[in-house]
A and B are shown apart, each in its own frame.
Chain A
Amino acid sequence: MIEQLDLAALEAELKTVADVRKPDATDSDSWSVGGITPSLVCTPGDSESLGEALAICDRAGAAVVPWGGGTQQGLGSPLERADVALVTTQLDRLIEHEPGDMTVTAQAGMTLSALQATLGEHGQWLPLDPPLLPGATLGGALATDVSGPRRLKEGGLRDLVIGTRAANVDGRISRAGGKVVKNVTGYDINKLHVGALGTLGVLVEVSFKVAPLPPSDRTWYCTFDDPRNAGLALSKLLWLPVSFAALDLVNASAAEGLGLSLEGASWALLARATGFGPAVERQLSEFRDATRGRQGSHTTAVNEQQAKETWTSYLEESAKRRWSPGRLTCRFALPSAELGPVAAAIAEVGGAAGKPRIWGHGTGALFWSAEVPSEGRSQIVDRLRGAAHGSGGRLVVENRGGDRGELDVWGPGEPSYRYMRAIKRQYDPRGTLNPGRFVDGI
Chain B
Amino acid sequence: MKPSRFVQELIEIVGERNVLWDDYDLRLYEYDGSVDRALPQAVVLPETAEQVAEIVRLCARASVPYTARGGGTGLSGGSIPVAGGVLITLVKMNRVLEVDLDSLRAVVEPGLVNLQLSEAVSGHGLYYVPDPSSQKACTIGGNVGENSGGPHTLLYGVTTNHVLGVEAVMPDGELVEFGAKALDLPGYDLTGAFVGSEGTLGIATKVTVRLVPLPEDIRTLLAVFDSVEDASATVSEVIGKGIIPAAIEMMDQLALQAVEASVHAGYPEDAAAVLLIEVDGLSDGLDEQAEAIREIADAHHARSVRIAQDAKERELLWSGRKGAFGAIGRISPEYYVVDGVVPRTKLPEVLKAIAAVGRQYDLPIANVFHAGDGNLHPLVLFDAAIPGELERTKVAGAEIMRICIRAGGVLSGEHGIGVEKRELMGELFTDYDMEVMLRLKAALDPEGLANPGKIFPTPGRCVEVPRKPLAGIGW
Listed in ascending order, the chain A residues whose CB lies under 8 Å from chain B are 98-103, 123, 145, 147, 155-156, 158-159, 166, 168, 172, 174-176, 178-189, 191-192, 194-196, 200, 211-215, 235, 238-243, 275-279, 281-283, 333-338, 363-365, 392-394, 396, 410-411, 414-417, 419-420, 422-423, 425-427, 438-440
Given contacts A189-B437, A415-B177, A427-B439, 10 further A-B contacts (CB under 8 A): A179-B343, A180-B341, A182-B375, A183-B410, A188-B160, A239-B126, A335-B102, A365-B184, A396-B186, A419-B190
Query: Shortest beta-carbon distance, B433 to chain A, in Å?
Result: 5
The residue on B at minimum CB distance from A173 is B432
Nearest A residue to B409, CB-CB: A180
Contact A334 B341 (CB under 8 A): no
Q: Are B239 and A102 in contact (CB under 8 A)?
A: yes
Taken together as a complex, chains A and B put the C-alpha atoms of A365 and B186 apart, in Å, by 13
Q: Closest residue to A392 on the B side, CB-wise?
A: B181
Q: Is B289's CB under 8 angstroms from A276's CB? A: yes
Residues of B within 8 A of A180 (CB): 341-343, 373-374, 408-410, 413
In chain B, what residue has the closest Cβ to A338?
B103
Q: How many Cβ-Cβ contacts under 8 Å join chain A to chain B? A: 258
- How far, in angstroms, from A242 to B216 measured CA to CA in the complex? 8
B153 at interface, CB cutoff 8 A: yes
A176 to B341, CA, bound (A): 15
In Å, the complex CA distance between A101 and B235 comes to: 11
B119 at the interface (CB under 8 A from A): no
Residues A212 and B153 in contact, CB atoms below 8 Å apart? no
Instruction: Tell which of B52-60, B320-328, B414-422 binds the partner.
Output: B414-422
Partner of B284, one of A188, A212, A279: A279
Chain B: interface residue count, which band?
35 or more
Contacts of A334 in B (CB 8 A): 182
User: Bound complex: CA of A175 vs CA of B410, how far in Å?
Assistant: 13
Q: Report whether B440 and A277 are in contact in the complex, using a CB–CB cutoff of 8 Å.
A: no
- A213 partner residues in chain B, CB cutoff 8 A: 242
Report yes or no: B195 in contact with A188, Cβ–Cβ below 8 A. yes
CA distance A337 to B216 in the complex (A): 22
Q: Which residues of B contact A155 (CB under 8 A)?
A: 157, 161
B444 near A422: Cβ-Cβ < 8 Å: yes
Q: Which residues of A contact B286 (CB under 8 A)?
A: 279
Within 8 Å by CB of A241, from B216, B342, B344, lies B216
Which B residues touch A336, using CB under 8 A? 102-104
B174 located at the interface, meaning its Cβ lies under 8 Å from any Cβ of chain A in the complex: yes
Q: Taking CB as reference atom, which chain A residue is nearest B345?
A: A100
Q: Would you give 9 A-B contacts (Cβ < 8 Å), ordered by A? A: A101-B343, A101-B374, A174-B430, A178-B408, A179-B408, A189-B193, A195-B188, A419-B176, A419-B443
Interface membership of chain B positions 338-380, coded 1 if the CB is closer than 8 angstroms to chain A and 0 otherwise:
0001111100000000000000000000000010011100000
Assuming A240-B213, A241-B125, A419-B444, is B433 touching A181 (CB within 8 A)? no
In the bound complex, residues from chain B placing their C-beta under 8 Å from that of A98 are 343, 345
Q: Are the C-beta atoms of B186 and A411 separated by less than 8 Å?
A: yes
Given contacts A238-B104, A276-B288, contact A186 B176 (CB under 8 A): no
Q: Which residues of A contact B410 (CB under 8 A)?
A: 178, 180, 183, 185
CB neighbours (8 Å) of A276 from chain B are 285, 288-289
Which of B187, B414, B433 neighbours the largest number of chain A CB atoms within 10 Å of its CB? B187
Q: Does B215 contact A (CB under 8 A)?
A: yes
Give B89 Cβ to nearest chain A Cβ, in Å.
Answer: 22
Q: What separation, in Å, do the CA atoms of A336 and B187 have in the docked complex?
A: 20
B120 at the interface (CB under 8 A from A): no
Residues of B within 8 A of A174 (CB): 430, 432-433, 435-436
A196 to B440, CA, bound (A): 14
Chain A nearest CB, measured from B442 CB (Å): 6
Of A158, A178, A180, chain B has the most CB atoms within 10 Å of the CB of A180
A239 vs B127: C-alpha distance when bound (angstroms): 11
Chain B residue contacts of A277, Cβ below 8 A: 285
Nearest-neighbour CB distance to chain A for B236, whole angstroms, equals 5
User: Is the beta-carbon distance between A186 and B182 smaller than 8 angstroms?
Assistant: no
Q: Are B153 and A182 in contact (CB under 8 A)?
A: yes
A396 to B182, CA, bound (A): 13
Pick from B184, B344, B428: contact of A195, CB under 8 Å: B184
Contact of A243 among B177, B196, B281, B370 (CB under 8 A): B281
Residues of B within 8 A of A211 (CB): 244
- Asked whether A188 lies within 8 Å of B193 as measured between CB atoms, the reply is yes
Q: Check B240 for interface membership: any CB of A closer than 8 A.
A: yes
B180 on the interface (CB 8 Å rule)?
yes
Contact A415 B176 (CB under 8 A): yes
In the complex, what distance in Å separates the CA atom of A181 from the CA atom of B244? 13
Judge if B80 is at the interface, Cβ distance under 8 Å.
Answer: no
B436 → A minimal CB distance (Å): 4
B186 touches A410 (CB 8 A): yes
A209 to chain B, nearest CB (A): 10
B152 close to chain A: CB less than 8 A: no
Chain B 293-335 per-residue mask, 1 if CB under 8 angstroms from chain A, else 0: 0000000000000000000000000000000000000000000
Q: How far is the CA of A410 from the CA of B161 in the complex (A)?
A: 25
List of 3 A-B pairs having minimum Cβ-Cβ separation, nearest first: A191-B192, A278-B285, A337-B102
Q: How many angstroms between the C-alpha atoms of A84 and B271 in the bound complex?
A: 63
Tell me which residues across on chain B come within 8 A of A176, comparing CB atoms: 433, 436-437
CA distance A125 to B412 in the complex (A): 26
Q: Is the CB of A212 within 8 A of B242?
A: yes
B258: CB under 8 A from chain A?
Answer: no
Chain B residues near A415 (CB, 8 Å)?
Answer: 174, 176-177
By a CB distance below 8 angstroms, the chain B residues around A182 are: 149, 153, 158, 341, 370, 373-375, 413-414
Q: For the complex, is B11 an interface residue (Cβ under 8 Å from A)? A: no
The answer to whether A101 and B345 have CB atoms under 8 Å apart is yes
A293 to B360, CA, bound (A): 67
Within residues 147 to 189 of chain B, which ones have a CB less than 8 A from any CB in chain A?
Answer: 147, 149, 153, 157-158, 160-161, 170, 174, 176-178, 180-189
Chain A: CB-nearest residue to B217: A241
List B residues 193-207 near A (Cβ within 8 Å): 193, 195-197
Within the complex, which residue of A191, A241, A278, A417 is in contact with B187, where a contact is CB–CB below 8 Å?
A: A417
Distance (whole angstroms) from the CB of A225 to the closest CB of chain B: 21
List chain B residues, Cβ under 8 A from A183: 341, 410, 412-413
Given A155-B157, A426-B443, are A278 and B125 also a contact pair (CB < 8 Å)? no
